[in-house]
Structures are given as structure tokens and as C-alpha cells.
Structure 1
Amino acid sequence: MLQPERLLSWASSPPHLQFNRFILSGYRPTMSAKDCMYSLFYVHNEFLNIHSHGLPLLYFVFCAPAQVPWQSISDSVTWLVILHYLATISVLLGSVIYHLFMNHHGGPVVYKKLLQFDMCGIWTLNTFGVLSNVSAAFSNMSVLCWLVPGLYTLVSFCALHEAMTAETVRTRVTSFLKPSLFRWVVTCLRIAGSAGGSPQAVRHIVWMEIFSISGGFFNVTRIPERWFPGRFDYLFNSHQILHTLAILGILHLHWGTIEDIMWLSRTSL
């Protein structure tokens, strides 16, 4: 098993992994899939990125479904709950696989596929994970109840194309801006009382969006390692902050989704 002393500096790391010049050490060399799996058990600069989404993944797979009051959920909206869970699991799984195998000896070709897989997971959550919240807002409006979720899905597909073809972190983050703005419009309508949905869900949705935007800000600006290169190689760097904020956002999305699903179940009776 690879030992920590064989970790590389930024200058000696594989070129396709040199996307953050402020992280100066802790890079894994190129490895086989088996050795990538071994890296779960020792510290390197991707260690927390893997486990910060790996542990929540286990929670959403094994624990969260048991906490949902399935008996109180209408059959007509059960599919929205299942879609939400699959989307949540997909984003966490995509992140874990990307960070775990990003140094695979397949090089840039494999890395690009892993990055696209990760982007697909983010897109899935941003599209289908929030669909119940968008649907609840217009569930009592005969035409808009289908038109708005359909339009949102279309906007999200456009964002997916931009994310999959993006060449920089900044472009990948901003590719999700249009769906985010769409959700903010829907949320503002809910706050103003012009759209439906659970009133208790709104605060969770707002917090989810705030955490999402904040995480994107740290990831693009490379703060705080930009200010102190080499000081945050293993802990508290921008991508780890992004992961932490992402988990907080996912939790609030989950809580808000359950509130909206329960509201839809009551109003559909």
C-alpha cells in the first residue's frame, strides 16, 4: 500500500491534476484502481473530499429513507420522493468516485470521464432533486403545474451541456447559474404568497440556495489557500469548504422536500 511519504508536490503531480496552484503538497501519484481504493485509509489532499461526501452517502442510502413518514405520503407523489433520493445519492456517489479515482493511471482521458460523471451527479440533484419544490409551487394551477417543471427541466438540460463542455472551474460553476436563477424566481413567488407549497419548506429552500452559492464562491475564488499557499493543503481549503456547504445545502433540500411532499400529499386528498 502506498505510504504518505510518497505523496507528491504540486510541481511533480500529474499535469491534469494541477488545477489549484495554491495546494502545494499531498498529491497522490497515478495509481491503479486498487491503489486508489487503498488511499481511503491514509491522509492526502483529497482524503477529506472523499470522506466528507462518502459518509453522507452512507447516511442517505441506509438511514434517511427510514426517517420518511411513507405511510402519510400520497401514492401520487411517491415518485417525487424516490426521484429526490436517487438524485441525492447520485451527486454524493459521483463526488466520491471522482475524488477517489481522479489520479487513476488512465490519465487525462479517465480524469475527464470522472469529472463528467461528477458533473452529471450535480446536474441530477439540481434538476430532479429539487423537482418536488418546483412542482409544489404550481401544483394548484392547471397549466403551470406541468409547464413550469417542464421548462425548468429544459433549462437544466441546457446547463448540463455547458457543464459537460466547460474547460475551467469558473465555467463549470457558472453553467448552473440559469437553473439557480429559475429556482430563486420560484422561491420569491412562494415567499410573496403567489405560489403554493409548504410554508415551512421555504426557509429550507432559501438556505439550500445560500449554501450552494457560497460553496461556488469559495470554489471559484480559491479562498483561503489563495491568501496562504501551502497552509491549507490538507484541511480547510476552498474545495473542502465547498463540500461542507454542499452537505448543509443537501440536508436543507432534503428537509424542504419532505415538507413539500407532505404538503402535496395533504392537498391532493
Structure 2
Amino acid sequence: MSPMEGGALAKKRKPTTTMDHQTSSSSASVDNNYFNVSHNHVTDNKKNKKKKKKKKRNKAKPKRYSLMSYWELPEYMKDNEFILNYYRANWPLPQALFSVFRWHNETLNVWTHLIGFVLFLGLTMVNLLRVPQVADLLGFFARSTPISAVTNVSRNFISQGIMTTNLIELKQMTSQEMEIAAAGHEMSGVAYWPFYVFLGGSMFCLFSSSICHLFSCHSHPLNLLLLRIDYAGITMMIITSFFPPIYYIFQCDPRWQFIYLGGITIMGVFTIITLLSPKLSSGKFRTFRALLFASMGLFGIVPAVHASIVNWGNPRRNATLVYEAAMAFFYLTGTGFYITRIPERWRPGWFDIAGHSHQIFHVLVVLGALAHYAAILVMLDWRNTFGCDNNNAT
């Protein structure tokens, strides 16, 4: 073979070798790509499985809503600028319900009136069951005091001469004794509906207050609705508090019953209608609302002075006035805390969870209602014992 033929042959082989190399390289790259795609597919499947597991775990565990500061709140919830933290806002109803067992700045607001509601529910039940020794809890403690006017609080609570003043246990009361007590209740001739009207009004106020503080964090519309119900509850408690004393003290003069009960009822209806305005539910009108409620309470000064004059010679008058004065003190002091926002005004942030003014206001409201309950026991005792012919009898 000549040199020229050998060169030509070499030239012919060169392209063939390059093509073969390119073909083998492309096939290798295809294999690598296939391997990478399959590897990525397996990795994506694993990631998807992990995401699904996390979703299942998240569904199994309910979301725990966090508390926020005053500055993070929506405008409709900014009511007290001196309470800085531990707020709930825009919580679903189930989470708001179960937050009754969590610590936040409304926890004690809920529980103070919820406990008060349960207390008055218990007093209502024992009175409906006509077991005077249990219903007369305050009278039991009053019997240990040396003041003669107070020691008569629980004597013959249901009927004259049927029940004794000794506290007996429910277990020791037989069905026959309960029937005797019930018969004495009916024979006494005193209407008990004003007493239960007061208890019902107190329970409505305390329960509506607890519900308002528990669920007002849900939404703006529900917040407004619950605030109106709360204000209506306060008004109902004030109105119904007038019914027992005015009814029993002026039982022998129905004209004054009509004048005083009609007057306070009209004031209450006007207050409820006024407070139905969403604008008046805002924090700017806090003082105005407090003055409306206080004016209704101060209306009671007129029938109280009148009743004192009518019953001047009755020794139980003093015991009644002591309890009613205690009620007025608790209510007015509570209103003072409500308006001034003391003590959180002095130390913002210190009383966020416990000790702020609204909690103190709640406690004083319950104490005021209990003092009024004790005063009504004195009036019932007096009316069960003496009729209209001897109002001033001892």
C-alpha cells in the first residue's frame, strides 16, 4: 500500500471514530438523565409522604391560638389601654369556649360572675325546694352576732311557728317535714314571686356577663351583640332588685307599689333602649353608661326614705338598712373602679391577668347582690310573721 492510500484510509476512519464517540457519550448522558429523573421522582414521593404525615398530625392536634398585645388588637377590641397583654382576638367559637380554662386577661372576669351565677342558682333551687335552713345561709351567720335586730333575720323564715331557727342537715329532713314546710309556705299568705324575680334577674345578669367576656373575642358583630345583652343584664338586675323590698314594705299600700315599681321599670326600659345603640357600646361612653346605671340605683333612695318613715317603729328596719347600705356601698364602689380603671391606670401591664378594675367590679357586684339577698330575707321574715294590721310589731 502506498503512502497516499494509507493517508486516505486514515482520513476515512477518523469520522467514523468521532461519531462512535458521540453516540456513546449521548447514550451515557441519557442513562444519567434517566437515573437523575428516577432519583428525583423517588425523593419527591418521600417528601410528599412526609407532608401528608405532617398534615395528618396538624389535623389531629387542634390549632392553639396565641394571645396578643393591646397594639395588635382590632380597633373594636381596644377598650382599656392600661391592660397591655394577654388578649384574644378573632378566635373561633370552640377555641373561645375552651379558653375558659386558659389564662388570659378575661379569665377572672368570666369566672367571678360564673361562680356568682352558680351561687344564686343554688340559692334559687333551695328556696324552690322550700328548705329554709339552707336558703338562709346569711341568716345562719347573722345569728352568731349579738345585735338583737340581726338575730331575728332567719326566725320563722317560711311560716310563723312551724320552722325552728336551728340549722339542720338536708339528710335529716324527712319527706313529711318537707311537706309541712311546703304547707307552711302556702299558708303564710305572702307572695314569693318578687323574691324569685330578683333571683332570676341576678342570674341573668351574672350569666350574660360571663358569656360576654368569654365569647366577645370571636368577631365584631358578636362582640356588639354580647355587649348589648350584657348591658341589658345589668339593667335587669337593677330593676328586679327593687321588686322584693318595694313589694313587701308597701304590701299594705298598693298605690306606692305601683308608683315605685312603675318608675324604676320605665327607667330600665329607657336605659336598655338607649344602650342598644352600637355607638354607645364603645369605650368612649363608659362613664355615660356607668352614670345611667348609677342613676337607676340612686332612684332607690326615695322609696328607702319613705319605707324608713313608714316602718320607723319596726326594730327590723335597722337590720334591713344595714344590709341595704352594704349593698349600696358595694355597688357604688364597684362603679367607681369601673369608671376610674384603678389600679391598672397606676401601673399599666401589672394587672393584665389578675387584679384589674373590671375584676374588682365583678366581685363587688356579687357581694352587693348577696347583701341585698340578706335584706330580702329580713323582709320575708317580717311579712311572714306580721300582716298589715301590725306592721310595727316586734
| TM-score between the two structures when normalised by the length of structure 1 | 0.90
Secondary structure of 1:175 counterpart: helix
Corresponding residue for 2:232?
120
Q: What stretches of structure 2 of length at least 5 have no aligned partner?
A: 1-61, 127-133, 136-156, 159-180, 389-394
Corresponding residue for 1:131?
243
Secondary structure of 2:70 counterpart: coil
Mean alpha-carbon deviation: is it higher for 17-26 or for 123-132? Answer: 123-132
Corresponding residue for 2:84?
24
Mean alpha-carbon deviation: is it higher for 88-97 or for 128-137? Answer: 128-137
Letter of the structure 2 residue corresponding to residue 219 of structure 1 = Y
Listed one character per residue, the Cα deviations across residues 184-212 of structure 1 (whole Å, up to 9, x for unaligned) are: 22223344x33588522221111111111
Corresponding residue for 1:43?
103
Secondary structure of 1:58 counterpart: helix
The alignment status of 1:223 with 2:342, answered yes or no, reads yes
Q: Whole-Å Cα distance in 2 between the matches of residues 152 and 266 of structure 1?
A: 28
The answer to whether the 8 Å contact 1:160/1:175 transfers is no
The answer to whether the 8 Å contact 1:130/1:257 transfers is no
Q: Would the alpha carbon gap of residues 63 and 141 (structure 1) be closer, same or farther in structure 2, given more than 3 Å must change?
A: closer
The alignment status of 1:201 with 2:325, answered yes or no, reads no
Question: Cα distance, 1:177 vs. partner?
Answer: 2.9
Q: Whole-Å Cα distance in 2 between the matches of residues 121 and 27 of structure 1?
A: 24
Q: Would the alpha carbon gap of residues 254 and 22 (structure 1) be closer, same or farther in structure 2, given more than 3 Å must change?
A: same
Question: Cα distance, 1:63 vs. partner?
Answer: 4.5
By relative contact order (CA 8 Å, sep 6+), the higher-ranking structure is 1
Fraction of identical pairs, as percent: 25
Letter of the structure 2 residue corresponding to residue 155 of structure 1 = M
The counterpart of 2:193, out of the listed 75, 79, 82, is 79
| TM-score between the two structures when normalised by the length of structure 2 | 0.63
Q: Whole-Å Cα distance in 1 between the matches of residues 254 and 194 of structure 2?
A: 19
The answer to whether the 8 Å contact 2:260/2:303 transfers is no
Secondary structure of 1:176 counterpart: helix
Question: Cα distance, 1:14 vs. partner?
Answer: 2.7
Letter of the structure 1 residue corresponding to residue 310 of structure 2 = S
Corresponding residue for 2:362?
243
Q: Whole-Å Cα distance in 1 between the matches of residues 365 and 63 of structure 2?
A: 30
Secondary structure of 1:170 counterpart: helix
Q: Would the alpha carbon gap of residues 179 and 195 (structure 1) be closer, same or farther in structure 2, given more than 3 Å must change?
A: farther
The counterpart of 1:176, out of the listed 257, 272, 293, is 293
Letter of the structure 2 residue corresponding to residue 194 of structure 1 = V
Q: Would the alpha carbon gap of residues 180 and 237 (structure 1) be closer, same or farther in structure 2, given more than 3 Å must change?
A: same
The answer to whether the 8 Å contact 1:98/1:115 transfers is yes
The answer to whether the 8 Å contact 2:242/2:261 transfers is no
Number of aligned residue pairs: give it: 265
Corresponding residue for 2:116?
56
Q: Whole-Å Cα distance in 1 between the matches of residues 233 and 264 of structure 2?
A: 17
Listed one character per residue, the Cα deviations across residues 73-121 of structure 1 (whole Å, up to 9, x for unaligned) are: 54542111221111111011111110010101xx221111101111111
Q: Whole-Å Cα distance in 2 between the matches of residues 114 and 255 of structure 1?
A: 30
The answer to whether the 8 Å contact 2:286/2:339 transfers is yes
Q: Would the alpha carbon gap of residues 151 and 208 (structure 1) be closer, same or farther in structure 2, given more than 3 Å must change?
A: same
Q: Whole-Å Cα distance in 2 between the matches of residues 47 and 151 of structure 1?
A: 37
Letter of the structure 2 residue corresponding to residue 187 of structure 1 = A
Secondary structure of 2:202 counterpart: helix
Q: Whole-Å Cα distance in 1 between the matches of residues 123 and 197 of structure 2?
A: 17
Corresponding residue for 2:371?
252
Q: Whole-Å Cα distance in 2 between the matches of residues 41 and 24 of structure 1?
A: 21
Letter of the structure 2 residue corresponding to residue 260 of structure 1 = M
Mean alpha-carbon deviation: is it higher for 92-101 or for 180-189? Answer: 180-189
Corresponding residue for 2:305?
188
Q: What stretches of structure 1 of length at least 5 have no aligned partner?
A: none
The counterpart of 1:143, out of the listed 255, 269, 294, is 255
Secondary structure of 2:276 counterpart: helix
Mean alpha-carbon deviation: is it higher for 249-258 or for 163-172? Answer: 163-172
Letter of the structure 2 residue corresponding to residue 180 of structure 1 = G
Secondary structure of 2:369 counterpart: helix
Q: Would the alpha carbon gap of residues 47 and 142 (structure 1) be closer, same or farther in structure 2, given more than 3 Å must change?
A: closer
The alignment status of 1:89 with 2:181, answered yes or no, reads no
The answer to whether the 8 Å contact 2:334/2:362 transfers is yes
Q: Whole-Å Cα distance in 1 between the matches of residues 383 and 310 of structure 2?
A: 17
Secondary structure of 1:246 counterpart: helix
Q: Whole-Å Cα distance in 2 between the matches of residues 75 and 24 of structure 1?
A: 56
Letter of the structure 2 residue corresponding to residue 172 of structure 1 = R
Corresponding residue for 1:103?
217
The answer to whether the 8 Å contact 1:2/1:39 transfers is no
Question: Cα distance, 1:169 vs. partner?
Answer: 1.3
